Structure 1
């Protein structure tokens, strides 16, 4: 029985601790998962940033968790003592974030049914009339400003609780460069624009054009647009950030590219 990714080499750029399931799915379909993390997630020192920001706002209506990492590192910062987080409503961006909160014993009051980004949360009815409300956004250092800017524009008082940072990992890129130079990479998966930027930086400017010709799978239209601006030409957007959805998109994109190559060879 032929498998969808028979022999295909797929570059997975997720942090090590978040890549295993996706890599396993790729391998189950006969592909080769090339693990090359372009982000490392590091908790911030308590002295630097993890003092509880809830004390800064006298009127906090919402805690917004932006990612699974935000949940995990926030819980670490408070030593797992979740009682103080139960005094306000909790919102989650993405179903995986909501599940992580619920598994920790926290009730999620709001998560977008469709969409997995700030824009999806901002479109929710509960986020329209926030004038005078206090909102804490739990996130990584240096994240997007769109969420806070829009909420402030609607009259909310927004504070950040930054509980982790993203750094470029110290990994050997020679193996990936070899695959690129031999045209043996069949697809690249990136789940954030920062991961894509780091990938380009880690492989070096001399390899950017060759990298840009490799089929690319992303998880949002925003990343697709930014990747196109960087010169990537074959980009597919997964229906959701879930591993099965990403796998389906990888399979479809590789098969489409293979079919087009076959037509070109016939001509």
Structure 2
């Protein structure tokens, strides 16, 4: 096998439904993708909040989706109820979420184009206080997670309903990952996944493995946990693969 990543085994820790593109890019560069989701995704325990939001979706001005998982667990229910309401502005945190919405036929999505996080979404002119004050926002998300998006929109005068449509949990068994004969690098796409990795394997097991992360917040947490081989890449899957390709593997 030839390519920049030839002979390298790279752990892909995205949720199972989102792991394919990054794994394929690693394979295309000659590497071996070792897929081990550090977040298990399942429907919300209580389906009532999602059902209630779907029933009154036309009353909202904005529908915000924090991740592709939010789209995958909310859009089927929305579209079973009826077509996407005219005049309802879709919001997305990043390109993966935009792509997931488009796959369901929802376009004209307001999303950041460079940084992909809640802060970047909130920086868009379309979500300025003058644009959201007094308007209603349906925020489709997982259980728990950051409150920044909801709290900031409320502070700007919006009425925000946070709707849990999926739940996240740590893997029940780390044996497969712990028994991996070799890992040359690990990709991590969320702080929660990083916490699960450290809890599941321990600091000593991962301290000497390069960790590739696409957001400064994840890098800061990794360093706070005592991990020093942390490579901050550009955003999203493309950023991770760019970071893997640029890394000096002989160092």
Normalised by the length of structure 1, the TM-score is: 0.83
CA distance in 2, matches of 1:82, 1:58: 10
Q: Is residue 223 of structure 2 the alignment partner of residue 228 of structure 1?
A: yes
Equivalent in the alignment of 1:52:
52
Q: Distance in 2 between matches of 1:214 and 1:200?
A: 12
Please tell me whether the aligned partners of residues 190 and 218 of structure 2 are also in contact (alpha carbons under 8 angstroms). yes
- 2:246 aligned to 234, 252, 258, which one? 252
Distance 1:122 1:4, change over 3 A: same
The 1-side partners of 2:13 and 2:94 are apart by 20
Secondary structure of 1:233's partner? coil
Q: Is the 8 A contact 1:65 1:139 kept in 2?
A: yes
Which runs of no fewer than 5 residues in structure 2 stay unpaired?
none
Match of 1:264 in 2: none
> Are the structure 2 counterparts of residues 5 and 12 from structure 1 closer, same or farther at C-alpha, using a change threshold of 3 Å?
same
User: Contact 2:54/2:81 (CA < 8 Å) preserved in 1?
Assistant: no
**How many Å apart are 1:144 and its aligned residue?**
0.9
Larger of the two Rg values belongs to structure: 1
How much has 1:190 moved relative to structure 2? 0.8
Equivalent position to 2:137, from 128, 135, 138 = 135
The answer on whether the counterparts of 1:71 and 1:100 sit within 8 Å (CA) in structure 2 is yes
Taking the aligned partners of 2:214 and 2:15, their CA distance within structure 1 comes to 16
Specify the SS of the correspondent of 2:195: helix
Aligned residue number for residue 14 of structure 1: 14
Distance in 1 separating the partners of 2:94 and 2:61 = 20
1:17-56 matched pairs, under 5 angstroms: 17-45=17-45, 47-53=47-53
**Residue 189 of structure 1 corresponds to which residue in structure 2?**
187
- Aligned to 1:51, the other structure's residue is in SS state helix
Cα separation, partners in 2 of 1:7 and 1:135, compared to 1, 3 Å: same
4+ runs deviating over 3 angstroms: 45-49, 54-59, 78-82, 84-87
**What corresponds to 1:148 in structure 2?**
150
SS at match of 1:83: coil
In 1, Cα distance between the equivalents of 2:21 and 2:215? 20
Gaps of 5+ in 1: 261-267
Note the alpha carbon deviations across 1:85-132, whole angstroms, 9 max, x for none: 444221121122122222322233411122111001100011112222
TM-score (norm 2): 0.88
What SS does the corresponding residue of 1:11 show, helix, strand or coil? strand
